């Protein structure tokens, strides 16, 4: 088996497809009259402004023959196959289910007397049928030119796509007294980590699990001899959600997949809950596959954690709402600095390596941003349509301006370093500093005084406590992660889709980061709020 970074890195390639030089995208072929819409750099770099193919639903399948009258049913069958979530009965034909020990009517955790069967005091109708499904896409676009359209074929045919509903099942495949559950948090910090840890522990105890441990400092905790697993209980985690960070600590990278699974086998871990982003989930999926290869009865369940909100197919990930809310403090400070100075310009850099969701939502919610720059939308700093020319106009007309920029935006302007962090991510240059310097040089060249203030609240935003919205999301995600594990599912992650909680196979959500669609209504709303032009 390769190292953990080897398992993660291939999963994180960004889609760099050039629409202008090809008639297909992720296996979908377009007629020539549609290809003409992609011609020119503007169309290409703005992710096909007029037509956006639903790449996440097409990436792993061969080209569709739309002349086949049965293409729609074949697509749906293929989709159902790909989104069928792995279950321990796929490997263990003789796996026996037992009545669930999770029933709120019981009020107290399961005791030893139920060791041979777990009857509840009375029938409870709070379980989820294993055949319940949630509709993945709810908008029926009538035209591929509709704002934000996600189409399977050039005619934008309506195709139903259903995913598994999350929640407690009436039958479970693990006996609580035989479970040793482990929780690990990987990557960077994110508001809500402690909330998820807390709720996983509480829900495990309601099922009757007595052996719950935390793996310290990410995947590294599986191999580092100086790091001991942390016993967890409701008493330990009762108040951890009142502070930010992670009770277990975080880190990037780690040992090989084989070493991790060896450690799990040695410790007797048969439930693993992994909190992390795309890279962490790629590692979790590799662990799941290795456990299956070794025929280990283990449930590996992910909880998507990314402050950038860049996980495919999900409404949002935990920590995002808190990040947007905390960003308001920095934006307001930048506004006050700029508004109080003669020819003041405030610059705020927010997190968002490949996706500009935080910057877009923060700009939209604050109402104080004049220019919002995100990785998905190219821009020029110089030239007649550049950012600097628009800043000059703002200074002349308003007297001040506030710029919000995502960390991954405008990286083409910066010198490449080839440096990478422990997760294999390219270390970016500081676009905020670069814009600050370019503004000063540009205004000095035209002899216009300008007072530029630059604010980078990155670590302040991600280290804070989750707000109420994220607290609710974390609570339900933690509960459903445990329900999924006891139901016998593995190699899955839990998320929220169209306001409903669902289980998704990990490979389908880690193909590449979710991006802001420049033709989406939300980006259009942001542009309406800022009043900014195209900077190209």
Average pLDDT over residues 498-522: 94
| 491 among annotated binding-site residues | no
Which residue, 37, 57, 62, is CA-closest to 47? 37
Whose tokens are 């600590």? That residue is: 249
| 35 annotated to bind ligand | no
Task: Report residue 377 as tokens.
Answer: 């939308």
CA distance 168 to 118: 15
Closest-CA residue to 273 (of 103, 465, 492, 423):
492
Q: In 277-363, where do the E strands start and end?
A: 299-304, 344-350
CB 272 within 8 A of CB 184: yes
Annotated domain spans of the chain: 163-317+467-510, 320-464
pLDDT of residue 4: 53
How far does Cα 111 stand from its chain's mean position?
38
Contacts (Cβ under 8 Å, ≥6 apart) of 436: 347, 452, 454
- Give per-residue burial for 275-300: e unless 16+ CB within 10 Å, then b: bbbbbbbbbbbbbbbbbbeeebbbbb
Q: Is the pLDDT of residue 108 over 60?
A: no
Percent residues over pLDDT 70 in the chain: 84
Q: Binding residue per annotation — 107?
A: no
279 is in an annotated binding site: yes
- DSSP 8-class letter at 37: G
Average pLDDT over residues 20-45: 32
Calculate Rg over the CA atoms of the chain: 25
* Confidence class for position 24, pLDDT limits 50, 70, 90: very low
Listed residue (438, 451, 442) closest to 346, CA to CA: 451
DSSP secondary structure string for all residues of 218-275: GGGGGT-TT---EE--HHHHTTGGGSSS-TT---S--SBHHHHHHHHHHHT--EEEEE
pLDDT (0 to 100) of residue 63: 82
**SS3 state of residue 299:** strand
pLDDT at 329 over 50: yes
pLDDT digits (tens, 9 = 90+) for 56-82: 334 445 688 898 999 999 999 999 999
Quick one: pLDDT band at residue 466, thresholds 50, 70, 90? very high
Whether residue 517 is annotated as binding a ligand: the answer is no
Q: What pLDDT does 60 receive?
A: 45
pLDDT band at 415 (very low <50, low <70, confident <90, very high): confident
Say whether 362 sits in a helix, a strand or coil: helix
- Sequence-separated (6 or more) residues with CB below 8 Å from residue 131: none
Is 308 a catalytic site residue?
A: yes
Q: What is the pLDDT of residue 423?
A: 65
Task: Report pLDDT for 126.
Answer: 86
CATH of range 163-317+467-510; options 3.40.50.300, 3.40.50.450, 3.40.50.620, 3.30.70.1050: 3.40.50.450
Mean pLDDT of the chain: 86
> Model confidence over 469-489: pLDDT tens digits?
999 999 999 999 999 999 999
Average pLDDT score over residue span 118-136: 80
Given a cut of 60, is residue 523 above it in pLDDT? yes
Dihedral angle, C-alpha 424, 430, 431, 432, nearest 10 ° = 140
What are the distances in angstroms from CA 103 to CA 202, 317, 372, 417?
14, 28, 48, 55
Structure confidence by residue, pLDDT tens digits, 340-358: 999 999 999 999 989 999 9
Query: Is 252 within any annotated ligand binding site?
Result: yes
461 annotated to a ligand binding site: yes
37 is in an annotated binding site: no
**pTM for this predicted structure:** 0.85
- Residue 380 CA to residue 368 CA, distance in Å, equals 22
CA–CA gap between residue 336 and residue 448 (Å, rounded): 21
Question: CA nearest 49: which of 58, 39, 59, 57?
Answer: 39
Query: Is 460 marked as a binding-site residue?
Result: yes
Q: Of 153, 195, 308, 470, which one is the catalytic site residue? A: 308
Percent of the chain topping pLDDT 90: 74
Angle between helical axes of 193-207 and 468-486 (0-180°, round to 10): 40
Query: In the predicted model, is pLDDT for residue 34 greater than 70?
Result: no
User: The tokens 């990410």 sit on which residue?
Assistant: 218
Res 196 pLDDT > 90: yes
Q: Does 386 or 48 have the greater pLDDT score?
A: 386
The CATH homologous superfamily of the domain defined by 320-464: Phosphofructokinase domain (3.40.50.460)
Quick one: how far is CA 188 from the chain centroid?
A: 13
Q: Is 188 annotated as a binding residue?
A: yes
The domains spanning 163-317+467-510 and 320-464 adopt the same CATH topology: yes
What tokens were used for 149? 């359209």
């Amino acid at each position: 088996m390769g190292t953990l970074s080897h398992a993660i890195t291939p999963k994180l390639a960004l889609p760099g497809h050039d629409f202008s030089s090809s008639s297909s995208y992720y296996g979908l072929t377009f007629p020539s009259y549609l290809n003409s819409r992609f011609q020119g750099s503007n169309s290409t770099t703005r992710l096909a402004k007029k037509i956006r193919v639903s790449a996440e639903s097409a990436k792993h399948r061969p080209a569709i023959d739309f002349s086949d009258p049965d293409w729609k049913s074949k697509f749906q069958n293929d989709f159902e196959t790909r989104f069928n979530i792995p279950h321990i009965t796929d490997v263990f034909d003789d796996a026996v289910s037992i009545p669930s020990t999770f029933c709120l009517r019981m009020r107290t955790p399961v005791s030893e007397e139920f060791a041979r069967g777990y009857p509840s005091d009375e029938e409870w109708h709070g379980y989820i049928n294993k055949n319940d499904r949630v509709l993945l896409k709810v908008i029926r676009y009538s035209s591929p030119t509709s704002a934000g359209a996600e189409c399977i074929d050039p005619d934008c045919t309506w195709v139903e796509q259903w995913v598994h509903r999350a929640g407690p099942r009436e039958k479970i495949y693990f006996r609580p007294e035989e479970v040793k559950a482990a929780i690990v948090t990987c990557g960077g910090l994110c508001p809500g980590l402690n909330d998820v840890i807390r709720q996983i522990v509480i829900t495990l105890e309601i099922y009757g699990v007595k052996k719950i441990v935390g793996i310290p400092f990410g995947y590294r905790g599986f191999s580092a001899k100086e790091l001991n697993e942390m016993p967890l209980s409701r008493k330990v985690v009762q108040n951890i959600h009142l502070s930010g960070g992670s009770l277990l600590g975080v880190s990037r990278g780690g040992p090989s997949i084989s070493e991790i699974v060896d450690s799990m086998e040695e410790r007797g871990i048969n439930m693993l809950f992994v909190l992390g982003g795309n890279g962490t989930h790629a590692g979790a999926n590799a662990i799941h596959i290795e456990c299956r290869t070794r025929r280990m009865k283990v449930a590996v369940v992910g909880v998507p954690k990314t402050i950038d909100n860049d996980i495919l197919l999900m409404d949002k990930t935990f920590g995002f709402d808190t990040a947007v809310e905390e960003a308001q403090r920095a934006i307001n400070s930048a506004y006050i600095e700029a508004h109080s100075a003669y020819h003041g310009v405030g610059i705020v850099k927010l997190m968002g390596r490949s996706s500009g969701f935080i910057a877009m939502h923060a700009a939209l919610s604050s109402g104080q941003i004049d220019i919002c720059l995100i990785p998905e939308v190219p821009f020029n700093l110089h030239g007649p349509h550049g950012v600097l020319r628009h800043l000059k106009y703002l200074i002349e007309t308003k007297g001040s301006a506030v710029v919000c920029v995502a960390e991954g935006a405008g990286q083409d302007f910066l010198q490449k370093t080839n440096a990478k962090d422990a997760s294999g991510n390219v270390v970016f240059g500081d676009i905020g500093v670069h814009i600050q310097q370019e503004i000063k040089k540009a205004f000095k060249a035209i002899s216009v005084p300008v007072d530029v203030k630059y604010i980078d609240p990155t670590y302040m935003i991600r280290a804070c406590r989750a707000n109420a919205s994220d607290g609710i999301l974390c609570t339900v995600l933690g509960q459903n992660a445990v329900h999924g594990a006891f139901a016998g599912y593995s190699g899955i992650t839990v998320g929220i889709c169209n306001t409903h909680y669902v289980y998704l196979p990990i490979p389908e959500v880690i193909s590449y980061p979710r991006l802001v669609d420049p033709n989406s209504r939300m980006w259009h709303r942001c542009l309406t709020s800022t009043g900014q032009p195209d900077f190209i």
